[in-house]
Structure 1
């Protein structure tokens, strides 16, 4: 790059930075200050020829964000450090300006330089800084992919409830990052096989492309790592670490709700990986449009590739799962026994179904009895009467919403209307009463609320119920419904 242009651009950046730092009374500008370096670190001036200044940006988003938030400040910086008469152009990474875009015109004087060859931007690691996210001196790192060998495609039972998602997943595993399914966004209820399918893709890629770096990460671990990086001022290296991944799998992405700083970092990681042809796989318990308290630009990117829903298994799929599970344990059942199990065990998720089958096997072992239809019926009946219902937060939310006649989206929203706020507080209260979830975990599943909000809700319900007869009745009714 022309040395003169580098110096001019550095002076422009310093001018903009100084004006942001001086904005003590301007809240909007102070907010922009936090994202300034993260944004402009990846923006380069590549030419200033015949009154045309061209900036190299990683993606269209950078161009739009600069125009929406920094255009006036950038205009003033160019005017101060260059003069009048320059037109501003943008070039998306690895592409020259098409000439079809309408340039943004500023009254700035031009300086002539030669346009250098545009090179691919790659993450740069600090040479003298070793931390949890970066290893200096190498571009590829040997990391634990966090993949489980038993969650392969060979062990994934395909049926009508998951056939579409499974077909797409197998296609991605053959050509990660090279299909139109990027990102792949898999969503569905608890225990239907989202994590298994995502891990299966990772395992297949590792087998077919040993040189590729694959990482499966829960959203909780992603958030924890970001918080540690932020506290130690290593956010840049945190992003570099994830930018070196070839196939990134984030499980339960909905838990990023309400975490603005983590979302900002995730957004830049997402954009870099997507732009450089890396595969992104996300799982969630809800569709992109239903995820609350998440930046619109992130929701938009969720929709870039393909969203695939996995539903609860139907009779045929349940039967296949039972056959597979029993055959791996060396057990064979007659068709009428299999049909009975598949029809009677109508759980929502694959995990619960496997749990019931394990219980049947255990009963047979304990009583040292061969399998028979009568034994199966007796076992299922015993389970129905003695097995405690699994009560989780989504189940509590469903009960509370049904009781008050509201939608789950309303329960998880930010509205403070009493007809919504009270059910929300009750849902938080019962989540703490009936589950082992922490205040933080409850807050995440209640639309990204802070743990202090959950604590306040629990204290409020507990205190007010002592003097409010109507609230006491709500609690009594809901307890009966949750436990039934």
Structure 2
């Protein structure tokens, strides 16, 4: 920093600090001074050119807090030591930690220049010496593991009002993969509603009807890992060639491609090749295409080419069918009142329902006790008393959205408006506080934000909650709601 600029800034800080009590109606001057020091300790003047003063601040929140609370005092100080007509700019260093991107420069009206995204990196603990699954088509016929679970067949898939449409379409696709109008098939719905089961069922049926067809199921995380490994080994061509051999490609949790620009580029070209050559693509997500954030628009438009089908949590009648089917396969029967009770009490996801059924069967087997309504009540009561509340990122997002009265797609958007940016920063902060997720993972779940953005959000909320009563109240209220 220029010595003259450093001296001017020091004088401005002294002036503002000396005039704090006059500018604010605050009975505790010492507390006000400590808050002021805590805030401006992380603000640094970096240039003064042609009456344009640029201050470096850690995040947008600092910029907004200064403008909301200290702008008149700061303007008076600048006028005193620099004269009239000083224009104030901010360099928001949300990406300073990574050392590879330029700062965002923002004027007092909040107009900003977008910051480039970080490229994907190899996930921690991902082995770089994995067996390369990629071979050139036409040179060698390989026996490819489809990664399909035999239990996830159509025979074991229970239809109901919540999934009938998706199931009917899936069966149609299995008979003519790539030859229907349902390409791609985009299945979306909440946790444990059967998206993965249905996509596996299509793959298994295709293998049954067309043994020579190559079917591959994998998670989006695995797809990303494979791409990164191929890129590091300079085998991107082999990576693309491998997937161009596939007749039915099934990718689970496609929303996790969010923010992965290079992987998205590769996926786009693979998608186009398969689609143009009559190959079937099946994708699953926890949200509809329009709500998948930070995915290239050209990819989102292709999600909509075929059919989008939502799978909802099972209704009462479907839950009863699932219970009967599961217990019949284990040679167990329930009375009508037991069946009604179990279907009523466990009303969330298919996965949770199966878990409770397994627990009931295990309890009956271990204690050599016949199933009864009393046993069901006792077992479910024990499960409820020992089951810990799962606090994960989606749950925290829901709590924050409900508290502030905003929608999830707003929270995950790129807008920097304070009424959305603040809830987003709070969601990031609590995601770090309550989960074991990395900064990168949190950023991914928050609409594909950089890990450095999450780091600064957490630091900002932690610091500002000490000096701002409103933010302190938000943190306290949300903390209580999350733990409820």
Do these two structures clear the TM 0.5 threshold for a shared fold by scoring above it? yes
Once the two structures are superposed, residues 41-89 of structure 1 have per-residue CA deviations (whole angstroms, 9 ceiling, x without a partner) of xxxxxxxxxxxxxxxxxxxxxxxxxxxxxxxxxxxxxxxxxxxxxxxxx
2:422 and 2:434 mapped to 1: Cα distance? Answer: 18
Residue equivalent to 2:381: 381
Distance change (3 Å), C-alpha of 1:140 and 1:305: farther
What aligned pairs does 1:320-399 form with structure 2 within 5 A after superposition?
A: 320-347=321-348, 349-399=349-399
Deviation at residue 140 of structure 1 after TM alignment = 4.0
Residue equivalent to 1:15: none
Residue equivalent to 2:150: 149
Tell me if the contact between 2:137 and 2:242 (Cα under 8 Å) persists in the aligned partners: no
Deviation at residue 329 of structure 1 after TM alignment = 2.6
Residue equivalent to 1:420: 420
Residue equivalent to 1:263: 264
**1:287 and 2:325 aligned:** no
1:192 and 1:419 mapped to 2: Cα distance? Answer: 33
Distance change (3 Å), C-alpha of 1:363 and 1:422: farther
What SS is found at the alignment partner of 1:308? strand
What SS is found at the alignment partner of 2:333? coil
Tell me if the contact between 1:140 and 1:244 (Cα under 8 Å) persists in the aligned partners: no
Tell me if the contact between 2:137 and 2:245 (Cα under 8 Å) persists in the aligned partners: no
Deviation at residue 134 of structure 1 after TM alignment = 2.0
Deviation at residue 479 of structure 1 after TM alignment = 2.3
Tell me if the contact between 1:139 and 1:244 (Cα under 8 Å) persists in the aligned partners: no
What aligned pairs does 1:67-146 form with structure 2 within 5 A after superposition?
A: 132-135=133-136, 138=139, 140-146=141-147
Tell which deviates more after alignment, 472-481 or 264-273. Answer: 472-481
Residue equivalent to 1:436: 436
Tell me if the contact between 1:140 and 1:213 (Cα under 8 Å) persists in the aligned partners: no
Deviation at residue 351 of structure 1 after TM alignment = 0.8
Residue equivalent to 1:296: 297
Tell me if the contact between 1:183 and 1:279 (Cα under 8 Å) persists in the aligned partners: yes
Tell me if the contact between 1:396 and 1:430 (Cα under 8 Å) persists in the aligned partners: yes
Residue equivalent to 1:239: 240
Residue equivalent to 1:93: none
What SS is found at the alignment partner of 1:313? coil
Deviation at residue 193 of structure 1 after TM alignment = 0.5
Tell me if the contact between 1:443 and 1:451 (Cα under 8 Å) persists in the aligned partners: yes
Normalising by the residue count of structure 2, what TM-score does the alignment of the two structures yield?
0.70
Residue equivalent to 2:121: none
Residue correspondences, number: 354
Residue equivalent to 1:206: 207
What SS is found at the alignment partner of 1:429? helix
Tell me if the contact between 2:259 and 2:449 (Cα under 8 Å) persists in the aligned partners: yes
1:455 and 1:363 mapped to 2: Cα distance? Answer: 46
Deviation at residue 428 of structure 1 after TM alignment = 1.7
Deviation at residue 315 of structure 1 after TM alignment = 0.1
What SS is found at the alignment partner of 1:312? coil
Deviation at residue 321 of structure 1 after TM alignment = 1.2
Deviation at residue 137 of structure 1 after TM alignment = 5.6
Gaps of 5+ in 1: 1-129
What SS is found at the alignment partner of 1:186? strand
Gaps of 5+ in 2: 1-130
1:325 and 1:457 mapped to 2: Cα distance? Answer: 46
Tell me if the contact between 2:259 and 2:448 (Cα under 8 Å) persists in the aligned partners: yes
What SS is found at the alignment partner of 2:187? strand
2:298 and 2:258 mapped to 1: Cα distance? Answer: 13
Higher relative contact order (CA closer than 8 Å, sequence separation 6+) = 2
Tell me if the contact between 1:213 and 1:246 (Cα under 8 Å) persists in the aligned partners: yes
Distance change (3 Å), C-alpha of 1:131 and 1:394: closer
Normalising by the residue count of structure 1, what TM-score does the alignment of the two structures yield?
0.70
Tell which deviates more after alignment, 206-215 or 443-452. Answer: 443-452
Q: CA RMSD in A?
A: 1.9
Once the two structures are superposed, residues 253-282 of structure 1 have per-residue CA deviations (whole angstroms, 9 ceiling, x without a partner) of 111122222111111111110111111111
What aligned pairs does 1:177-188 form with structure 2 within 5 A after superposition?
A: 177-188=178-189
What SS is found at the alignment partner of 1:154? coil
1:136 and 1:242 mapped to 2: Cα distance? Answer: 10
Once the two structures are superposed, residues 230-262 of structure 1 have per-residue CA deviations (whole angstroms, 9 ceiling, x without a partner) of 222222221111111010001111111222221
Residue equivalent to 1:159: 160
**1:193 and 2:194 aligned:** yes
Tell me if the contact between 2:199 and 2:250 (Cα under 8 Å) persists in the aligned partners: yes
1:179 and 1:221 mapped to 2: Cα distance? Answer: 28
Distance change (3 Å), C-alpha of 1:389 and 1:375: same
1:241 and 1:211 mapped to 2: Cα distance? Answer: 16
Deviation at residue 294 of structure 1 after TM alignment = 1.5
Tell which deviates more after alignment, 364-373 or 258-267. Answer: 364-373
1:136 and 1:167 mapped to 2: Cα distance? Answer: 33
What SS is found at the alignment partner of 1:249? strand
Deviation at residue 188 of structure 1 after TM alignment = 0.8
Residue equivalent to 1:65: none
Residue equivalent to 2:472: 472
What SS is found at the alignment partner of 1:215? strand
Distance change (3 Å), C-alpha of 1:431 and 1:361: farther
Deviation at residue 187 of structure 1 after TM alignment = 0.8
Once the two structures are superposed, residues 190-242 of structure 1 have per-residue CA deviations (whole angstroms, 9 ceiling, x without a partner) of 11000110011111111111111110011111111112222222222211111
